[in-house]
A = this chain, B = another copy of it.
Amino acid sequence: MNIDSALPALAALAHPTRLEAFRFLVRHEPEGLSTGELVDASGLTQSTFSTHLAVLAKAGLVKSEKLGRQQIQRADIDTLRELMLFLAKDCCQSRPELCEPLLAELTCC
């Protein structure tokens, strides 16, 4: 993950519909959900939501797999991890003491 891959990931998550959908998918790992189920949960039009899903997919945050005539969507935790690592990298590398409280809270879960 570098600045060019972090930017689309951040932009993908910086929208209420997409952030909600991504969090929804994370909570449904590792089974995933079909596009239709996500559309229903979003309350938006199928075409509108499909566009949002494409943004998440292009950012690498969601991977999909064809299953019959539906498309199963799954959150990509690896990309999320890489994004968080990218965000933490700057403060950790230059100033390890800045990251200690960050890691302290993260390890509690």
Residues of A whose CB lies within 8 Å of any CB of B are 3, 6-7, 10-11, 13-16, 19-20, 23, 26-27, 29, 75, 77, 80-81, 83-85, 87-96, 98-99, 101-103, 105-107, 109
Copies in the complex: 2
Which of B7, B75, B88, B93 contacts A19 (CB under 8 A)? B7
User: Using Cβ atoms and an 8 Å threshold, which residues of chain B touch A106?
Assistant: 84-85, 88, 103, 106
Task: Kindly identify which residue among B14, B81, B89, B101 contacts A11, using a CB–CB cutoff of 8 Å.
Answer: B14
Q: How far is the CB of A41 from chain B (nearest CB, A)?
A: 15
- Shortest Cβ gap from A13 to chain B (Å): 5
Q: Give min CB distance, A43 to chain B, whole Å.
A: 16
How far apart are A81's CB and chain B's nearest CB, in angstroms? 4
Knowing A10-B10, A19-B10, the reply to whether A109 touches B80 (Cβ < 8 A) is: no
